[in-house]
Amino acid sequence: MGRWEPNARGRLEQAAMELFLERGFEQATVTEIAARAGLTQRTFFRHFADKREVLFYGQEMLRDLLVNAVASAPEAAAPIDAVAGAVVSAGALLQQRREHARQRQVVIDANPELRERELIKLAGLAEAMAGALRKRGVSDPAASLTGEAGIAVLKVAFGRWLSEPGQPDLPQLMQESFGALKAVTAGT
């Protein structure tokens, strides 16, 4: 091994993404990922439990961001507005890594197990926002429906942002999507 270099997690993430895109998720091994990053398997496992975690790292941070944003929304905010603010905040965070997000989605879309994991993650985020709404006094089914609606908007806006060239920034797409949802539910 060469001289110590900083940002082991970032190097592992980049090496993994390159290998996943070149060879497919299933064919890439932890040994190859670590070697490409110039690190050891032990270092890999200090940062990630397994190679799936490279793709899903940061899930807790995203959940916490959404929950905290819902919790800190103005007291008078309607549940959908509290969730919209939270999702738009998440969009601003995701905006910073567009190419990574695009590559990550390519890898996930190519693997049924990863697609299932992504759906489970999104369901967990919806439930976390619903829980934050319940703490604000929103009862069910309104809290659950609003959390699910927020994730639906996130998915639709995220998909457009990744697949349609020339799209505005992700938070703007999310705001537009919430506007469209409100228009549909108002019957306009």
3-class SS of residue 129: helix
Residues in the chain: 188
Q: What is the pLDDT along the chain (188 residues), one digit of tens a residue?
A: 444 567 899 999 999 999 999 999 999 999 999 999 999 999 999 999 999 999 998 889 999 999 999 999 999 999 999 999 999 999 998 888 888 899 999 999 999 999 999 999 999 999 999 999 999 999 999 999 999 999 999 999 999 999 887 777 999 999 999 999 988 888 65
CA angle in degrees (0–180, nearest 5) for 151-97-34: 110
pLDDT of residue 98: 87
Burial class (CB in 10 A: 0-12, 13-18, 19+), 28: buried
pLDDT of residue 185: 83
Burial 127-166 (b: 16+ CB within 10 A, else e): bbbbbbbeeeebeeeebbbbbbbbbebbeebbebbbeeee
pLDDT of residue 166: 78
Superfamily of domain 58-186: Tetracycline Repressor, domain 2 (1.10.357.10)
Which tokens hold the place of 66? 């959404």
pLDDT of residue 3: 44
pLDDT of residue 148: 97
Q: Do domains 8-49 and 58-186 have the same CATH topology?
A: no
Domain spanning 8-49: which CATH class is it, in words? mainly alpha
Burial class (CB in 10 A: 0-12, 13-18, 19+), 38: middle
For the chain, the domains span: 8-49, 58-186
Which tokens hold the place of 44? 């890999």
pLDDT of residue 20: 97
pLDDT of residue 97: 86
